[in-house]
Amino acid sequence: MAFRTAEMEALWARIRERYGSYLLVLPGDPSFICQPHECDAYCCRAFNVSLDGGEAERLRESSGLPASRFLECEDGEPIALPLAKPFVLGRSDGHCVFLGAELTCDQYEARPDPCRSYPHQVVFVDAASGRAVQPSAEAARRAVEAVAAGREAEGPAPLLLRHDQCPGFTGPPSTEGAWADLLRETYARSVGGAGEVVSSPP
């Protein structure tokens, strides 16, 4: 595969000012290896994590705890916001309720999708306007498949980004195949069952 890295860099140059906390991820960049002791589990402290019903149920089954013990609650009942991901993972002492003493996730296998994706995210860029856009689910899926295969996207093109606060990018250079899989997986986790994007860029 010959990846179109020059095109990706050109698109990134158009939007990078608006994504000050992110960096572009290209094939061959250092791969991610979580090192929570390097950052004191920054991500499990810094972010509020939104969940849908399926993710909440996964954690309930895995932990054996009632949802009221690990979701943000009001009057003893989980808060349900009018969003595609209505629930918010609970916090205590300034971090997620599932962050363990050894800085590992107590529910790693059942952790919510945003935790699986962090520190990556996918953003789509329209080359004509130079703006980040949200294509239809079908157009987005086709564009991800094209770019993952080293082809040009027909419409807005996906860029794979990473949060710049994460110190875990110390692994070996990612292979083209691993980069393509990461792009596909990060995009897939960002969409709900109906194909709608449920976690959009800041």
Q: Give me the residues that bind ligand SF4 (CB under 6 A), please.
A: 44, 49, 96, 98-99, 105, 107, 111-112, 115
Helices H / strands E in the chain, number of each: 7, 10
Which of 110/139 has CB closer to ligand SF4?
110
Task: Tally the C-alpha atoms within 13 A of residue 48's C-alpha that lie toward its C-beta.
Answer: 8
Minimum Å gap between C-beta 112 and ligand SF4 is: 6
Which residue blocks in the chain are alpha helix, DSSP H?
Answer: 5-15, 36-39, 42-46, 53-63, 113-117, 137-148, 176-189
CB of 109 to ligand SF4, least distance (A): 10
CA 182-187-191 angle, 5° bins = 150
End-to-end CA distance of the chain: 31
Q: How far is the CB of 12 from ligand SF4 (least distance, A)?
A: 27
Q: Which CB atom, from 118 or from 179, has the smaller least distance to ligand SF4?
A: 118
When the beta carbons of 35 and 134 are compared against ligand SF4, the nearer one is: 35
Burial 35-45 (b: 16+ CB within 10 A, else e): ebeebebbbbe
In the complex, minimum distance from the CB of residue 198 to ligand SF4, in angstroms, rounded to a whole number: 16
Q: Which is nearer to ligand SF4, 57 or 152 (CB)?
A: 57
Q: Which residue has the tokens 């990078």?
A: 16
Q: How far is the CB of 149 from ligand SF4 (least distance, A)?
A: 31
Assess contact for 52 and 87: CB atoms under 8 A. Answer: yes
Q: What angle do CA 160, 188, 73 make, to 5 degrees?
A: 105
**Closer to ligand SF4 at the Cβ: 105 or 139?**
105
